[in-house]
């Protein structure tokens, strides 16, 4: 396999491969054993950038990741998040008090003395942004966190955070994590991308495969196979397996076949080429998926390819 390009996260000194791995399956949809095999496959195939969160299976994802990495911790870049509810509403949000507690809990579960990228999971309108950003800056100064990022912020919230951190000379967000895929482009490209470009922030697209729809394994008019994510979740299957989505999936599949590619190559390779994207963090339940997703990152679209992908996706996915 060709080594994937790496991209810098702001001025943090951290570089990540253009394909990483999302860890929200671990401890929930995927038990500890299979999760560990996925984690080791990611390390072995050059996609050792792991995105987890305290709330993924209420701490189990972080525990499984930390245990599986073990002595190979330094080969990995670990991103985790705080702010979602850990069992009670007072164990959530962006307050100084909760951040101080949440970071220690994450460090313990991950079995590490530092988190590479610590992300605020959801914008918290009940806490002044100064308080959240000041507390995060202290974690950077203490060496517990190497860099900070945000998730589910819009462009204006990202701009405001940068202005506050700048005024105080604090660490600034180097990443913005938002839902972004070839099936859903509008919110990010209208709001987050322009701010991220101005600020030099890297975008981490989540749900890049739309729960597997962009892997090509689901087909119009066919029930999803048992054991797949959509096969196990009828309500999500109903939301995603729509004519609107299959119109794009089938057109992207045709685009891929005409170039001897798979739709997975296009879904991951094209997203990695969009403005400001730092790394595509696809989830995976097996080592084979990890390897396929890593390989997909090897495809770099030409300008003409990107224009054609815009023509296929934008009329619908930009809405
Ligand atoms: P996703 O990447 O769109 O879909 C991942 C799922 O698709 C896998 O679990 C697997 O499901 C299937 N899949 C993956 N690779 C495949 C392949 N090569 N061939 C066939 N099927 C494949 O969605 P996600 O995992 O939910 O999201 C990615 C990551 O984004 C998460 O893990 C998490 O780190 C992050 N995230 C963040 C937020 C946020 O608020 N910040 C929200 C959601 C997610 P099956 O094998 O089960 O079918």
Give CA 222 to chain center in angstroms: 29
Quote the number of domains for the chain: 1
Q: How many angstroms is it from 277 CA to the middle of ligand 1? A: 17
Contacts of residue 39, Cβ cutoff 8 Å, sequence gap at least 6 = 21, 26, 50, 64, 65, 68, 69
Tokens found for residue 19: 């394909």
Is residue 122 within 8 A of residue 157, CB to CB? The reply is no
Report the atom number in ligand 1 closest to the C-alpha of 289: 18
Closest among 98, 88, 139 to 116, alpha carbons compared: 139
Alpha carbons 297 and 54: distance in angstroms, whole number:
27
Is residue 47 within 8 A of residue 296, CB to CB? The reply is no
Please confirm, yes or no, whether 180 is among the known catalytic residues: no
Q: Hey, is 198 helix, strand or coil?
A: helix
Q: What is the pLDDT of residue 315?
A: 86
Q: What is the pLDDT of residue 8?
A: 97
Tokens found for residue 17: 């491969």
Residue 74 lies in a domain: yes
Can you give the pTM of this predicted structure? 0.97
Q: In which domain, by residue range, is 35 found?
A: 14-219+264-300
| CA separation, residue 173 to residues 43, 62, 234 (Å) | 26, 22, 37
Residue 48 lies in a domain: yes
Residue 105 lies in a domain: yes
Report the atom number in ligand 1 closest to the C-alpha of 231: 48
Residue 228 lies in a domain: no
Residue 151 lies in a domain: yes
Residues having CB closer than 6 A to ligand 1 are 22-25, 29, 51, 121, 151-152, 177, 206-212, 215, 217, 228-229, 264, 281-285, 289, 292-293
Mutation pick for ligand 1 pocket among 117, 212, 290 (CB with most ligand atoms within 8 Å): 212
What are 65-98's pLDDT values in tens digits?
999 999 999 999 999 999 999 999 999 999 999 9
What are 221-253's pLDDT values in tens digits?
999 999 999 999 999 999 999 999 999 999 999
Residue 24 lies in a domain: yes
Residue 234 lies in a domain: no
Alpha carbons 213 and 184: distance in angstroms, whole number:
12
Residue 184 lies in a domain: yes
Q: Residue 16 pairs with which residues in a beta bridge?
A: 7
CATH number of residue 75's parent domain: 3.20.20.100
Is residue 139 within 8 A of residue 177, CB to CB? The reply is no
Per-residue pLDDT of the chain (319 residues; tens, 9 = 90+): 789 999 999 999 999 999 999 999 999 999 999 999 999 999 999 999 999 999 999 999 999 999 999 999 999 999 999 999 999 999 999 999 999 999 999 999 999 999 999 999 999 999 999 999 999 999 999 999 999 999 999 999 999 999 999 999 999 999 999 999 999 999 999 999 999 999 999 999 999 999 999 999 999 999 999 999 999 999 999 999 999 999 999 999 999 999 999 999 999 999 999 999 999 999 999 999 999 999 999 999 999 999 999 999 998 887 7
156: number of Cβ within 10 Å:
11
Ligand 1: which residue has its CA nearest to atom 48? 228
User: Tokens 């038990």 correspond to what residue?
Assistant: 31
């Amino acid at each position: 396999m060709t080594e994937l390009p790496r991209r810098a996260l702001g001025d943090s000194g951290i570089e990540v491969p253009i394909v990483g791995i999302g860890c929200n399956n671990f401890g929930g949809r995927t038990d500890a054993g299979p999760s560990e095999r996925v984690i080791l496959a990611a390390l072995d195939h050059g996609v050792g950038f792991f995105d987890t969160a305290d709330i993924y299976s209420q701490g189990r994802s972080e525990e499984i990741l930390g245990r599986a990495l073990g002595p190979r911790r330094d080969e990995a870049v670990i991103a985790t998040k705080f702010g979602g509810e850990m069992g009670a509403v007072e164990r959530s949000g962006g307050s100084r008090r909760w951040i101080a507690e949440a970071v220690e809990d994450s460090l313990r579960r991950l079995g590490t003395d530092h988190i590479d990228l610590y992300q605020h999971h959801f914008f918290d309108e009940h806490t002044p942004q100064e308080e959240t950003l000041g507390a995060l800056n202290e974690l950077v100064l203490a060496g517990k966190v190497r860099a900070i990022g945000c998730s589910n912020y819009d462009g204006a919230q990202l701009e405001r955070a940068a202005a506050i951190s700048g005024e105080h000379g604090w660490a600034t967000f180097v990443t913005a994590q938002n839902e972004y895929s070839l099936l859903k482009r509008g919110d990010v490209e209208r709001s987050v991308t322009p701010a991220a470009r101005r600020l030099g922030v890297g975008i981490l697209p989540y749900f890049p495969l739309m729960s597997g729809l962009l892997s090509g394994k689901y087909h119009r008019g066919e029930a999803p196979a048992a054991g797949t994510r959509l096969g196990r979740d009828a309500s999500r299957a109903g939301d995603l397996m729509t004519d609107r989505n299959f119109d794009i999936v089938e057109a992207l599949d045709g685009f891929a076949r005409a170039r001897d590619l798979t739709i997975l190559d296009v879904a991951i390779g094209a997203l990695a080429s969009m403005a400001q994207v730092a790394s595509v963090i696809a989830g995976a339940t097996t080592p084979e998926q990890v390897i396929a997703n890593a390989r997909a990152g090897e495809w770099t679209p030409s300008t003409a390819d990107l224009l054609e992908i815009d023509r296929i996706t934008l009329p619908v996915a930009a809405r």
